[in-house]
Structure 1
Amino acid sequence: MLKRKERATRSSASEGQAPKVLVVDDEADILELLELTLLRMGIDVERAASLAEAKDKLARGSFDLCLTDMRLPDGTGLELVDYIAAHCADLPVAVITAHGSTENAVAALKAGAFDYLAKPVSLEQLRTLVKSALSLPKESPAKAVAEGLRLIGQSAAIVHVREMIEKLARTQAPVYISGESGSGKELAARLIHEASARRSKPFVPVNCGAIPENLMESEFFGYRKGAFTGAESDRDGFFQAANGGTLFLDEVADLPLAMQVKLLRAIQEKRVRKVGSTQEEPVDVRIISATHQRLASCVEEGRFRQDLYYRLNVIELKMPALRDRREDVPLIAEAILARLTRGGPACRLSPEAVQALTAYDFPGNVRELENILERAVALSDGGVIQVGDLQLTPPAEVDDARPTLEGKWPLQEYLDRVEKEAILEALEKTRYNRTAAAKLLGITFRALRYRMERLGIH
């Protein structure tokens, strides 16, 4: 019964009829404004002045979008969001909140609202929201995803992630993706984008840890000609490049506090000002952020603004480590090998190699598995990868004779190990851009090159 209702709720537009929107508000002037704007867009409108009337219309009719005020005579917009989530789950609903009421907006998004509008309602933002909601894919997001862009595995952990991605694709809410390095955070962000109403617009990934602090504002918001030495022409920033689409902020914890303030304003106001400009320009961008650090700990330590944390972390998606879904390792390895050997001789893993990979902890997660297999393909003979070809790092041995100071001597070996780990982490965070990694480490490029040679990092 519920599924029949869900299908009927979004049926009108798909049959070639004009889309139909239910507008819920008890203020006649707001209703008039919204209805007039929607009618000019070629959209049919039905009104409801209360929560009870809205529920009645939803039970008897079919709609493609619901717009509701947060304050209603007999309840709240949040109650209507909950009702729609329970009875017509595929119907997008947007709430209209009082100006500056951030808590209500965030609560609505957490409850499953597609998006929100702040009073006084901007007609430009209203039209953008309506167009996005009406362009949501009717089929399952899994079918809308580009070929080859997928999370492989059948473990309970990855099945849950795929289910979450399907839900997150049907909302505009900011998403915070947590997880270890190499666990697939950017892939998850791309999947959300590709299955969303923004799929035809750009997906712009940004590594926040790889941008020099003095260039951050111009990189994010763009600049005008003559704004500074070397600004020979106008240039758009990441926000303008992602307009209408998704801006993915990787390693967002690395943003300096001064930039965090400017990012918060851009997210709240949905407007940005280029460096050297006196005018702000509107931008329509969905923010998805990620970091391998614990963002809550960064807030506690004063390295990340709490207000920005709450704006970014509306909904959290946790990416599991590969060691927490070992049953998926053979499937992932098979897919990676098929990609690595495409166009050449086939290559497969021996049963012993599969067993060794499944037992390995993978500190670098899927990215490390890719590197291991790429090296193994080059080393193997006869198209069969043996355990020796994998060159897996053996687990650290524990010396029971000195449990309290384990691994602290010889001192030079310990210091080399710490230095090597720091350099590898910096290289990984900057996608192996050595210049950016040197800046992150606070050393010169020449010093980094010397240390990499001395420690055998290639």
Structure 2
Amino acid sequence: MEITCTAMPETLLESELFGHERGAFTDAKERKLGRLELAHGGTLYLDEIGDMPVELQTKLLRALQERTLERLGGHESIRIDVRVLAATNRDLEALMKDGRFREDLYYRLNVVSVHLPPLRERRRDIPLLVEHFLAKHGAALGECGVAPEALDRLVGHDWPGNVRELENVIQRAMVMATGGVILPEHLPIGPVSAAASVAVDATLEEIIEKKLMECVRGLREHASANLYDLMIGLVEKPLLRAVLRETGGNQLRAAQILGINRNTLRKKLVEHGIDPEALGG
């Protein structure tokens, strides 16, 4: 069971957490059990705990310490046995210094802490999340795929709103993508620089694999595409150019670094049309 602490006014949040008796306030026409009581024997997830009003924090702390609560307008102490999970994107230590979050509640909740980095620091998760949201909303909005260029833009975006923003963007793009494929123009986010389009935490192997997946997509029906030789050539040429730039065009030194003999290097340079003198400057 969960409750978001920013989604409702303080009085309503208090009622949702602790429940109320009939007549406790104007619209309280019948008794209502709160989330803490309903979660008895289970788990209650408090989202955005950093935005909970201080007065309500005090009441929550007392309920957690004493394992009892009173519904609004009631006098009966009700026993509860609840495991509480809390999450926030706010700096709780800074809020404590400002007097906007109770220190005792912080230490009461902070038994086990899990820090989840912002989405911009774990860009490799974005393709997996995109796939998840496409499946999640496919029944309601129609099944969609994502063009490689659109996925690059999603991976390169900084996502100040983190996963919630990503899900919102995917939902909107699914509505706009009437052809069943999400294109860059369907995304309400700006283009990204070439540097940002590659995940900052991606390894060289992951970058190469991502590009190779784009190359082989759709080839399963082909009897033969001579793909091995083609891919080796595409990787070999930039490798030779990079090493020659590093050695200032010195073929002997380049051959030593590559672990091949000089004649083999010369042959490969001719095959790929590479002029070592042009790379020596």
The two structures share one fold, judged by TM-score above 0.5? yes
Cα distance, 1:299 vs structure 2: 0.4
Q: Greater strand percent: which structure?
A: 1
Cα distance, 1:253 vs structure 2: 1.8
Alignment of 1:119-198 (within 5 A): none
Pick closer, same or farther for the CA change 1:335–1:261 going to 2, 3 Å.
closer
1:104-137 per-residue CA deviation (whole Å, 9 max, x = no partner) reads xxxxxxxxxxxxxxxxxxxxxxxxxxxxxxxxxx
What CA distance in whole angstroms lies between the structure 2 residues aligned with 1:344 and 1:217?
Answer: 35
Cα distance, 1:378 vs structure 2: 2.8
1:410-446 per-residue CA deviation (whole Å, 9 max, x = no partner) reads xxxxxxxxxxxxxxxxxxxxxxxxxxxxxxxxxxxxx
Count of paired positions = 193
Pick closer, same or farther for the CA change 1:282–1:327 going to 2, 3 Å.
same
SS of 1:318's equivalent?
coil
Which of 107, 116, 121 is the equivalent residue of 1:324? Answer: 121
Amino acid at match of 1:281: I
Spell out structure 1 runs of 4+ moving beyond 4 A.
343-346
Cα distance, 1:345 vs structure 2: 6.2
Partner of 1:251: 48
Cα distance, 1:356 vs structure 2: 1.9
Partner of 1:348: 145
Amino acid at match of 1:337: L
What CA distance in whole angstroms lies between the structure 2 residues aligned with 1:219 and 1:328?
Answer: 34
> What TM-score, normalized to structure 1?
0.39
Cα distance, 1:207 vs structure 2: 1.6
Does residue 361 (structure 1) correspond to residue 149 (structure 2)? The answer is no
What CA distance in whole angstroms lies between the structure 2 residues aligned with 1:384 and 1:232?
Answer: 50
Amino acid at match of 1:325: R
Partner of 1:302: 99
Partner of 1:392: 189
Cα distance, 1:353 vs structure 2: 1.8
What CA distance in whole angstroms lies between the structure 2 residues aligned with 1:345 and 1:239?
Answer: 37
Does residue 207 (structure 1) correspond to residue 9 (structure 2)? The answer is no
What CA distance in whole angstroms lies between the structure 2 residues aligned with 1:228 and 1:381?
Answer: 49
Alignment of 1:30-429 (within 5 A): 203=1, 205-342=2-139, 346-380=143-177, 382-394=179-191
Q: CA RMSD in A?
A: 2.4
Amino acid at match of 1:357: L
> What TM-score, normalized to structure 2?
0.61
What CA distance in whole angstroms lies between the structure 2 residues aligned with 1:256 and 1:346?
Answer: 41
Cα distance, 1:362 vs structure 2: 1.6
Pick closer, same or farther for the CA change 1:273–1:394 going to 2, 3 Å.
same
1:333-378 per-residue CA deviation (whole Å, 9 max, x = no partner) reads 2232233334886432222222222222122222222222222223
What CA distance in whole angstroms lies between the structure 1 residues aligned with 2:53 and 2:33?
Answer: 21
Unpaired runs of 5+ in structure 2? 194-281
What CA distance in whole angstroms lies between the structure 1 residues aligned with 2:13 and 2:166?
Answer: 33
**Identical amino acids, percent of aligned pairs:** 45
Cα distance, 1:390 vs structure 2: 1.9
What CA distance in whole angstroms lies between the structure 1 residues aligned with 2:60 and 2:141?
Answer: 47
1:246-301 per-residue CA deviation (whole Å, 9 max, x = no partner) reads 11111212222222211111000101112233331101111111111111111011
Cα distance, 1:326 vs structure 2: 1.3
Amino acid at match of 2:131: E
8 Å contact kept, 2:147–2:181: yes
Higher Cα Rg, which structure: 2
8 Å contact kept, 2:153–2:192: no
Unpaired runs of 5+ in structure 1? 1-202, 397-458
Pick closer, same or farther for the CA change 1:356–1:282 going to 2, 3 Å.
same
Pick closer, same or farther for the CA change 1:378–1:242 going to 2, 3 Å.
same
What CA distance in whole angstroms lies between the structure 1 residues aligned with 2:131 and 2:13?
Answer: 40
What CA distance in whole angstroms lies between the structure 2 residues aligned with 1:215 and 1:378?
Answer: 34
Pick closer, same or farther for the CA change 1:212–1:346 going to 2, 3 Å.
closer
